[in-house]
Amino acid sequence: MEKLEIGVKAESCVRCAKCIRVCPSGIFASSDDGIVTDKVNRCIGCGHCMAVCPTDSVVHSLFPKGTVHTINYAAMPKPEQVMLLCKMRRSLRVFTKAPIPETSLTDIVEAAHRAPTGSNMQNVEFTLITSPDMLKQITELTIQIFGEALKKLENPLLKPILKRIMPQMYRYVPVLKGLIRDYSKGNDRILRGATAVLLIHGPKKSGLACNDCNLAYQNGSLMAEALGVGQFYTGFVYMAMNADKKHRIEKLLEIDGKVYAGMALGMPALRYPRYIDRKPVRVKRV
Protein backbone atom coordinates (compact mmCIF):
# COMPACT_ATOMS: atom_id res chain seq x y z
CA MET A 1 0.00 0.00 0.00
CA GLU A 2 1.24 3.48 -0.82
CA LYS A 3 2.50 5.56 2.10
CA LEU A 4 -0.16 7.84 3.52
CA GLU A 5 0.47 11.51 3.98
CA ILE A 6 -1.81 13.38 6.34
CA GLY A 7 -1.17 16.85 7.68
CA VAL A 8 -2.78 20.12 8.70
CA LYS A 9 -1.95 23.44 7.01
CA ALA A 10 -0.86 25.65 9.94
CA GLU A 11 -1.45 28.88 7.97
CA SER A 12 -5.22 28.29 7.62
CA CYS A 13 -5.96 25.97 10.59
CA VAL A 14 -8.09 27.71 13.25
CA ARG A 15 -7.35 25.01 15.85
CA CYS A 16 -11.01 24.20 16.36
CA ALA A 17 -9.86 20.60 17.07
CA LYS A 18 -12.79 19.07 15.20
CA CYS A 19 -10.40 16.74 13.35
CA ILE A 20 -9.15 15.50 16.73
CA ARG A 21 -12.70 14.84 17.89
CA VAL A 22 -13.94 12.99 14.83
CA CYS A 23 -10.93 10.88 13.80
CA PRO A 24 -11.76 7.28 14.82
CA SER A 25 -8.06 6.35 14.80
CA GLY A 26 -6.76 9.16 17.01
CA ILE A 27 -4.31 10.44 14.42
CA PHE A 28 -4.67 14.16 15.19
CA ALA A 29 -3.38 15.88 18.35
CA SER A 30 -2.93 19.40 19.62
CA SER A 31 0.56 20.80 20.18
CA ASP A 32 2.13 24.19 20.79
CA ASP A 33 2.74 24.38 17.06
CA GLY A 34 -0.89 23.68 16.19
CA ILE A 35 -2.63 20.46 15.15
CA VAL A 36 -0.18 17.67 14.39
CA THR A 37 -0.56 14.12 13.10
CA ASP A 38 0.99 10.91 14.36
CA LYS A 39 0.84 7.18 13.42
CA VAL A 40 -0.87 7.99 10.13
CA ASN A 41 -0.69 4.32 9.15
CA ARG A 42 -3.64 3.79 11.49
CA CYS A 43 -5.85 5.86 9.16
CA ILE A 44 -8.87 3.88 7.86
CA GLY A 45 -9.51 6.39 5.06
CA CYS A 46 -12.98 7.42 6.26
CA GLY A 47 -12.37 11.06 5.30
CA HIS A 48 -14.01 12.48 8.44
CA CYS A 49 -11.07 14.85 8.98
CA MET A 50 -11.47 16.27 5.47
CA ALA A 51 -15.25 16.46 5.72
CA VAL A 52 -15.30 18.25 9.08
CA CYS A 53 -12.56 20.89 8.68
CA PRO A 54 -14.19 24.34 8.42
CA THR A 55 -11.17 25.90 6.69
CA ASP A 56 -10.19 23.06 4.33
CA SER A 57 -6.86 22.80 6.14
CA VAL A 58 -6.44 19.04 6.28
CA VAL A 59 -4.20 17.61 3.58
CA HIS A 60 -4.69 13.88 2.99
CA SER A 61 -3.04 11.89 0.22
CA LEU A 62 -6.15 9.69 -0.18
CA PHE A 63 -8.37 12.68 -0.93
CA PRO A 64 -6.92 14.90 -3.65
CA LYS A 65 -8.74 17.89 -5.09
CA GLY A 66 -12.11 17.00 -6.56
CA THR A 67 -12.87 14.23 -4.05
CA VAL A 68 -14.24 16.52 -1.33
CA HIS A 69 -17.65 18.15 -1.81
CA THR A 70 -19.58 20.78 0.09
CA ILE A 71 -22.96 19.61 1.42
CA ASN A 72 -26.01 21.70 0.65
CA TYR A 73 -28.01 20.99 3.82
CA ALA A 74 -30.97 22.97 2.46
CA ALA A 75 -31.36 20.28 -0.23
CA MET A 76 -31.61 17.44 2.31
CA PRO A 77 -34.85 15.41 2.32
CA LYS A 78 -37.09 16.35 5.24
CA PRO A 79 -37.56 13.72 7.99
CA GLU A 80 -41.17 13.22 6.92
CA GLN A 81 -39.96 12.56 3.37
CA VAL A 82 -37.51 9.93 4.60
CA MET A 83 -40.26 8.40 6.75
CA LEU A 84 -42.65 8.34 3.79
CA LEU A 85 -40.03 6.51 1.73
CA CYS A 86 -39.63 3.95 4.55
CA LYS A 87 -43.40 3.52 4.81
CA MET A 88 -44.18 3.23 1.11
CA ARG A 89 -41.23 1.01 0.12
CA ARG A 90 -42.31 -2.41 -1.17
CA SER A 91 -40.99 -5.53 -2.71
CA LEU A 92 -42.30 -5.33 -6.24
CA ARG A 93 -42.66 -8.48 -8.32
CA VAL A 94 -44.62 -7.40 -11.38
CA PHE A 95 -42.54 -5.81 -14.09
CA THR A 96 -42.95 -4.53 -17.61
CA LYS A 97 -40.42 -5.51 -20.28
CA ALA A 98 -39.22 -1.89 -20.55
CA PRO A 99 -35.50 -1.52 -19.85
CA ILE A 100 -34.47 0.31 -16.69
CA PRO A 101 -32.86 3.65 -17.64
CA GLU A 102 -29.07 3.44 -17.45
CA THR A 103 -28.99 6.53 -15.24
CA SER A 104 -31.27 4.77 -12.73
CA LEU A 105 -29.04 1.69 -12.66
CA THR A 106 -26.01 3.92 -12.11
CA ASP A 107 -27.77 5.79 -9.27
CA ILE A 108 -28.87 2.55 -7.57
CA VAL A 109 -25.30 1.21 -7.62
CA GLU A 110 -23.92 4.58 -6.47
CA ALA A 111 -26.37 4.71 -3.53
CA ALA A 112 -25.52 1.11 -2.59
CA HIS A 113 -21.80 1.86 -2.83
CA ARG A 114 -22.23 4.74 -0.38
CA ALA A 115 -23.44 2.55 2.50
CA PRO A 116 -21.15 2.29 5.52
CA THR A 117 -18.76 -0.67 5.76
CA GLY A 118 -17.06 -2.21 8.80
CA SER A 119 -13.69 -0.49 9.46
CA ASN A 120 -14.38 1.45 6.25
CA MET A 121 -13.04 -1.52 4.29
CA GLN A 122 -15.16 -0.60 1.22
CA ASN A 123 -14.69 -4.15 -0.04
CA VAL A 124 -18.23 -4.47 -1.39
CA GLU A 125 -18.43 -5.29 -5.09
CA PHE A 126 -21.35 -5.40 -7.49
CA THR A 127 -22.28 -7.51 -10.47
CA LEU A 128 -25.08 -6.01 -12.52
CA ILE A 129 -26.76 -8.44 -14.88
CA THR A 130 -29.02 -7.11 -17.65
CA SER A 131 -28.40 -9.74 -20.31
CA PRO A 132 -31.71 -11.63 -20.77
CA ASP A 133 -29.79 -14.83 -21.45
CA MET A 134 -27.76 -14.49 -18.22
CA LEU A 135 -30.92 -13.73 -16.22
CA LYS A 136 -32.53 -16.86 -17.64
CA GLN A 137 -29.47 -18.91 -16.74
CA ILE A 138 -29.57 -17.61 -13.15
CA THR A 139 -33.17 -18.76 -12.78
CA GLU A 140 -32.44 -22.10 -14.46
CA LEU A 141 -29.42 -22.80 -12.27
CA THR A 142 -31.40 -21.82 -9.16
CA ILE A 143 -34.17 -24.25 -10.12
CA GLN A 144 -31.60 -26.95 -10.95
CA ILE A 145 -29.81 -26.49 -7.60
CA PHE A 146 -33.15 -26.62 -5.74
CA GLY A 147 -34.01 -29.84 -7.63
CA GLU A 148 -30.73 -31.40 -6.53
CA ALA A 149 -31.26 -30.23 -2.94
CA LEU A 150 -34.77 -31.72 -2.92
CA LYS A 151 -33.41 -35.07 -4.12
CA LYS A 152 -30.99 -35.11 -1.20
CA LEU A 153 -33.60 -34.01 1.34
CA GLU A 154 -35.99 -36.74 0.17
CA ASN A 155 -33.42 -39.51 -0.17
CA PRO A 156 -34.73 -42.23 2.23
CA LEU A 157 -31.20 -43.05 3.43
CA LEU A 158 -30.20 -39.43 4.09
CA LYS A 159 -33.56 -38.12 5.33
CA PRO A 160 -33.36 -39.41 8.95
CA ILE A 161 -29.90 -37.84 9.37
CA LEU A 162 -30.66 -34.57 7.55
CA LYS A 163 -33.92 -34.13 9.45
CA ARG A 164 -31.94 -34.29 12.68
CA ILE A 165 -29.09 -31.95 11.67
CA MET A 166 -31.03 -29.45 9.55
CA PRO A 167 -34.73 -29.68 10.49
CA GLN A 168 -35.31 -26.11 9.30
CA MET A 169 -34.61 -27.16 5.70
CA TYR A 170 -37.68 -29.39 5.62
CA ARG A 171 -39.90 -26.34 5.95
CA TYR A 172 -38.72 -25.38 2.45
CA VAL A 173 -39.55 -28.73 0.80
CA PRO A 174 -43.08 -27.72 -0.33
CA VAL A 175 -41.81 -24.24 -1.28
CA LEU A 176 -39.04 -25.65 -3.48
CA LYS A 177 -41.42 -28.16 -5.04
CA GLY A 178 -43.81 -25.31 -5.87
CA LEU A 179 -41.06 -23.21 -7.45
CA ILE A 180 -39.89 -26.11 -9.62
CA ARG A 181 -43.43 -27.08 -10.62
CA ASP A 182 -44.34 -23.50 -11.55
CA TYR A 183 -41.12 -23.01 -13.51
CA SER A 184 -41.87 -26.13 -15.55
CA LYS A 185 -45.20 -24.49 -16.44
CA GLY A 186 -43.47 -21.29 -17.58
CA ASN A 187 -43.96 -19.29 -14.38
CA ASP A 188 -40.59 -17.97 -13.13
CA ARG A 189 -41.06 -17.22 -9.41
CA ILE A 190 -37.30 -16.83 -8.95
CA LEU A 191 -36.72 -13.61 -10.94
CA ARG A 192 -40.34 -12.93 -11.88
CA GLY A 193 -39.58 -11.15 -15.14
CA ALA A 194 -37.02 -8.75 -13.62
CA THR A 195 -34.94 -7.09 -16.34
CA ALA A 196 -31.87 -6.70 -14.13
CA VAL A 197 -30.25 -8.31 -11.11
CA LEU A 198 -27.72 -6.60 -8.90
CA LEU A 199 -25.63 -9.09 -6.94
CA ILE A 200 -23.69 -7.66 -4.01
CA HIS A 201 -20.58 -9.50 -2.94
CA GLY A 202 -17.50 -9.27 -0.79
CA PRO A 203 -14.42 -11.24 0.18
CA LYS A 204 -15.09 -14.82 1.38
CA LYS A 205 -13.11 -14.47 4.58
CA SER A 206 -14.19 -11.11 5.91
CA GLY A 207 -16.02 -10.97 9.22
CA LEU A 208 -18.38 -8.13 8.30
CA ALA A 209 -18.79 -8.59 4.53
CA CYS A 210 -22.31 -9.94 4.96
CA ASN A 211 -23.34 -6.89 7.00
CA ASP A 212 -21.66 -4.56 4.50
CA CYS A 213 -23.44 -6.13 1.51
CA ASN A 214 -26.86 -6.01 3.13
CA LEU A 215 -26.45 -2.39 4.15
CA ALA A 216 -25.48 -1.67 0.55
CA TYR A 217 -28.60 -3.52 -0.56
CA GLN A 218 -30.89 -1.35 1.54
CA ASN A 219 -29.31 1.90 0.33
CA GLY A 220 -29.72 0.72 -3.25
CA SER A 221 -33.26 -0.49 -2.77
CA LEU A 222 -34.40 2.83 -1.29
CA MET A 223 -32.81 4.65 -4.21
CA ALA A 224 -34.64 2.29 -6.59
CA GLU A 225 -37.87 3.13 -4.81
CA ALA A 226 -37.17 6.88 -5.09
CA LEU A 227 -36.45 6.47 -8.81
CA GLY A 228 -39.66 4.55 -9.45
CA VAL A 229 -37.79 1.31 -10.19
CA GLY A 230 -39.30 -1.87 -8.74
CA GLN A 231 -37.12 -4.26 -6.76
CA PHE A 232 -37.17 -7.31 -4.53
CA TYR A 233 -34.54 -9.22 -2.56
CA THR A 234 -33.39 -12.33 -4.44
CA GLY A 235 -33.44 -14.63 -1.41
CA PHE A 236 -34.04 -17.77 -3.48
CA VAL A 237 -30.99 -17.09 -5.65
CA TYR A 238 -28.98 -16.50 -2.48
CA MET A 239 -30.19 -19.80 -1.00
CA ALA A 240 -29.26 -21.66 -4.17
CA MET A 241 -25.80 -20.10 -4.26
CA ASN A 242 -25.28 -21.06 -0.63
CA ALA A 243 -26.39 -24.65 -1.23
CA ASP A 244 -24.32 -25.18 -4.38
CA LYS A 245 -20.90 -26.61 -3.57
CA LYS A 246 -19.96 -26.22 -7.26
CA HIS A 247 -20.65 -22.44 -7.18
CA ARG A 248 -22.19 -22.62 -10.65
CA ILE A 249 -23.88 -19.19 -10.51
CA GLU A 250 -20.71 -17.46 -9.30
CA LYS A 251 -18.71 -19.24 -12.04
CA LEU A 252 -21.24 -18.26 -14.71
CA LEU A 253 -20.92 -14.62 -13.67
CA GLU A 254 -17.18 -14.80 -12.93
CA ILE A 255 -17.70 -13.61 -9.38
CA ASP A 256 -14.67 -14.07 -7.20
CA GLY A 257 -15.92 -13.78 -3.65
CA LYS A 258 -19.15 -14.47 -1.80
CA VAL A 259 -22.51 -13.04 -2.75
CA TYR A 260 -24.34 -11.88 0.39
CA ALA A 261 -27.29 -10.00 -1.13
CA GLY A 262 -29.08 -9.60 -4.42
CA MET A 263 -31.68 -7.31 -5.89
CA ALA A 264 -34.02 -8.11 -8.76
CA LEU A 265 -34.95 -4.93 -10.60
CA GLY A 266 -37.46 -3.91 -13.23
CA MET A 267 -39.85 -1.20 -14.31
CA PRO A 268 -43.06 -1.56 -12.29
CA ALA A 269 -46.17 -2.87 -14.07
CA LEU A 270 -48.27 -1.26 -11.32
CA ARG A 271 -48.06 1.11 -8.40
CA TYR A 272 -49.32 0.56 -4.85
CA PRO A 273 -51.60 3.47 -3.96
CA ARG A 274 -51.59 2.51 -0.25
CA TYR A 275 -49.12 1.50 2.40
CA ILE A 276 -50.10 -0.96 5.12
CA ASP A 277 -49.32 -0.92 8.81
CA ARG A 278 -46.85 -3.48 10.04
CA LYS A 279 -47.07 -5.68 13.14
CA PRO A 280 -46.72 -3.58 16.29
CA VAL A 281 -43.11 -2.53 16.78
CA ARG A 282 -41.26 -4.51 19.43
CA VAL A 283 -38.81 -2.16 21.09
CA LYS A 284 -37.36 -2.60 24.53
CA ARG A 285 -36.22 0.53 26.32
CA VAL A 286 -33.54 -0.08 28.91
Ligand X SMILES: Cc1cc2nc3c(=O)[nH]c(=O)nc-3n(C[C@H](O)[C@H](O)[C@H](O)COP(=O)(O)O)c2cc1C
**Minimal CB distance to ligand X: which residue?**
235
Segment (H or E) for 103: helix 102-113
- Asked if 177 touches ligand X (CB under 6 A), the answer is no
245 backbone dihedrals φ, ψ, rounded to 5°: -65, -20
Dihedral angle of Cα 186, 190, 196, 197, to the nearest 10 degrees: -160
Q: What is the DSSP string of 239-255?
A: HHHHH-TT-HHHHHHT-
Give the interface size with ligand X as a residue count (CB under 6 A).
8
Give the interface segment with ligand X, choosing from 16-24, 72-80, 85-93, 133-141 (CB under 6 A).
85-93
Measured in degrees and rounded to the nearest 5, phi and psi for residue 136 equal -65, -40
The reply on whether position 132 binds ligand X by CB under 6 A is no
Return the closest-CA partner of residue 191 out of 243, 127, 236. Answer: 236
Please give the DSSP secondary-structure letter assigned to residue 4.
P
Binding segment for ligand X (CB under 6 A), chosen from 7-15, 88-96, 104-112, 175-183, is: 88-96
* Position among 176, 232, 241, 250 found at the interface with ligand X (CB under 6 A): 232
Task: Write down the least CB distance from residue 200 to ligand X, Å.
Answer: 12
Q: Is 236 in the site for ligand X (CB under 6 A)?
A: yes
- From 120, 117, 126, select the one nearest 209 (Cα to Cα): 117
Residue 28 in the binding site for ligand X (CB under 6 A): no
Q: Which one-letter amino acid corresponds to residue 260?
A: Y
**Smallest separation (angstroms) from ligand X to the CB of 237:** 7
Residue pair 47/63 in contact (Cβ under 8 Å)? The answer is: yes
Q: Is 233 in the site for ligand X (CB under 6 A)?
A: yes
The residue (of 68 and 269) whose beta carbon lies closer to ligand X is 269
Q: How far is CA 253 from the centre of its chain?
A: 18
Q: How far is the CB of 103 from ligand X (least distance, A)?
A: 25
| CB of 85 vs ligand X, minimal distance in Å | 13
One of 14, 67, 235, 270 touching ligand X (CB under 6 A): 235
Closest separation in Å from C-beta 239 to ligand X: 8
Which is closer to ligand X, CB of 63 or CB of 233? 233
CB of 174 to ligand X, least distance (A): 15
CB 219 within 8 A of CB 107: no
Residue 126 dihedral angles phi and psi, to the nearest 5°: -125, 140
In this chain, which of 91, 96, 187, 242 binds ligand X, going by CB under 6 A?
Answer: 91
Which lies closer to ligand X via its Cβ, residue 77 or residue 235? 235
In this structure, are residues 77 and 41 in contact, taking their beta carbons and an 8 Å threshold? Answer: no
| Residue from the set 9, 90, 113, 248 that interacts with ligand X by CB under 6 A | 90
Q: Which of 200, 234, 241, 257 binds ligand X (CB under 6 A)?
A: 234
What spatial distance separates the first Cα and last Cα of the chain, rounded to whole Å? Answer: 44
Q: Cα separation of 262 and 248, whole Å?
A: 16
217 near ligand X, rule: CB under 6 A: no
Task: Please tell me the distance from the alpha carbon of residue 240 to that of residue 179, in angstroms, as a whole number.
Answer: 12
Does 93 bind ligand X (CB under 6 A)? Our answer is: yes
Q: Which residues bind ligand X (CB under 6 A)?
A: 90-91, 93, 232-236
